[in-house]
Amino acid sequence: MFELLKQPWPWYVSGPLIGLSIPLLLILGNKSLGISSSLKHICAACIPGKIPFLNYDWKNESWNLAFALGIIFGGYIGADLLTNPSNIAISDATIAVLKQNKITDFSGYMPMEIFNWQSILTLKGFIIIVIGGFFVGFGTRYANGCTSGHSIMGLSNLQWPSLVATICFFIGGLFITHLMLPIILNL
Amino acid sequence: MLKTIKYIILGTLFGLVLTKTEAISWFRMQEMFRFQSFHMYGIIGSAIVTGIISIQLIKRLNIKTLTGEKITIERKPFNKGTIIGGLIFGMGWALTGACPGPIFAQIGTGASVAIVLLLSAIAGTWVYSYFKPKLPH
């Protein structure tokens, strides 16, 4: 059993489990799944300034921060206690195209040659980590949701704005992957 | 306190699933955006199907919360931000290979540089909040 749990979980196990978090959160606490809000609550708690959008009682939304904290624990359990003994089995086609773009280390969850502390000071690392992270925070708040709040929760509730958001997420992602990353990865 | 523990446990399960199914992997996002594997589409698709069935059951059977409250689901309004913000987030998603949930999970896996990702995302959220009145909505 333990050995089985250590293997990567197939989509038909993980997808329904992720979907079940929706009724669990609704029934256990009347909460709608959504994670990017936690970033806003952190801003409201730490650096609200005089910004009206950030001046609200974030403690009323602290469940969202507790949930985010839990995700950190989940990452620890998943990666360090239930360690998958092999590399992530991405498709050969993806490995081939990434190898053509200077990526050589496929051992972690992300390419370690980019995602390390020294790399942040290089143009490539700065664009991918710092600018990329900034876009994630800016974009999710501007769009009022992320993959969890729009693509999973919003679509599960059949809300058309979430479908528009999800399509835009993909357009942005395809633009970067196919037109920008070939340049950025070769910097 | 008990409430907080409840959400920490739910978050832990959520993060565990994301991690074990490799949805926190930059490589998996690349595979998805290059249409070279069904994995991420299977995850997102089956999560939505499960979510749709669950919400329909809750609505049709008038299921209440454990404490007997009526279940309410926030509706997200549409505005220009849905499109512009969506495009910007999509770009960040492909660059970092992470959305907000996976950033937290990556920190848990011990990828300490994900803390920079988190801080950058917090900075992005703050800058949006600051300029919100001036941005098209």
Q: Which domain does A56 fall in, by range?
A: 1-83
Q: Which domain does B17 fall in, by range?
A: 2-37+75-134
Structure tokens at B106: 């990556």
CA-based nearest distance A28→chain B, Å: 6
CB contact under 8 A, A5 and B11: no
**The total number of structural domains that make up chain A:** 2
CA-based nearest distance A57→chain B, Å: 16
Distances (CA, A) of A95 to A83, A115, A181: 22, 17, 14
CB contact under 8 A, B33 and A173: yes
Q: Does some domain include residue B68?
A: no
Please say which residue of A83, A105, A125 terminates a domain. A83
pLDDT tens-place string over residues A100-135: 999 999 999 999 999 999 999 999 999 999 999 999
Q: Does some domain include residue B46?
A: no
Collect all residues with Cβ–Cβ distance below 8 Å to A135 and sequence separation of at least 6. B88, B89, B91, B92, B95, B124
- Does residue A106 share a domain with residue A68? no
A1: pLDDT strictly greater than 80: no
% of chain A with per-residue pLDDT over 70: 100
B36: pLDDT strictly greater than 80: yes
**The total number of structural domains that make up chain B:** 1
pLDDT of residue A172: 98
- Does residue A138 share a domain with residue A159? yes
Neighbours of A33 (CB within 10 A): 26
Which of A104, A142, A176, A177 should one mutate to test binding to chain B, selecting the residue with the greatest count of B CBs within 10 A? A142
pLDDT of residue A81: 92
Neighbours of B51 (CB within 10 A): 26
Q: What are phi and psi of B64, to 5 degrees?
A: -100, 170
- Does residue A128 share a domain with residue A47? no
- Does residue A117 share a domain with residue A68? no
- Chain B residue numbers with beta carbons less than 8 Å from the beta carbon of A111 are 26-27
pLDDT of residue B1: 81
Distances (CA, A) of B131 to A144, B89, B123: 15, 17, 12
Residues A5-25 have a mean pLDDT of 96
Confidence of residue B18 (pLDDT cuts 50, 70, 90): very high
CB contact under 8 A, B90 and A90: no
Please say which residue of A83, A111, A139 terminates a domain. A83
- Does residue A76 share a domain with residue A116? no
Please say which residue of A83, A111, A127 terminates a domain. A83
- Does residue A130 share a domain with residue A151? yes
- Does residue A17 share a domain with residue A48? yes
- Does residue A98 share a domain with residue A69? no
Neighbours of A127 (CB within 10 A): 18
Mean of all residue pLDDT scores within chain A: 96
CA-based nearest distance B62→chain A, Å: 11
- Chain B residue numbers with beta carbons less than 8 Å from the beta carbon of A50 are none
Q: Does some domain include residue B92?
A: yes
CB contact under 8 A, A94 and B48: no
- Does residue A128 share a domain with residue A71? no
Strands (E), A15-138: none
Residues A145-169 have a mean pLDDT of 97
